[in-house]
Structure 1
Amino acid sequence: MSVVTSVSPQAPADDVVEVPETSVADVVKAAEAARAAQREWWRAPAPARAAALGAAAAALRARA
């Protein structure tokens, strides 16, 4: 399987990440899933969205 390599703009010799190439069908599937998730997010009440963002922030802080 082919991979796409992202390199650091400051140090092009440094690979940042390698990810497998993705088919058009997989990109379409991901876009459809993202659209469905956005609609679900939009329908959620503000307190639920705030709680989700707070939990995400806490998870990021825990990994810092």
Structure 2
Amino acid sequence: MTPRPTDTLIDEIIATCNGDLRGALKALLMVNEQLEAELQQLYAASPQFASVRPGNNVLH
């Protein structure tokens, strides 16, 4: 059975953090926060999305 792409990606992220699962999760949360901030900036700059505001579906 071949590993799924998601499993391979997870393994790569953990390996990047020297096998530290907590470190890998922390890094992913930090990236997620940055992406959420960028998304908020894009929504703020686009009047057509004035009624669409993410926030209720945040995982942290």
TM-score (ref. length: structure 1)? 0.39
Structure with the higher fraction of residues in strand conformation:
1
Q: Whose Rg is larger?
A: 1
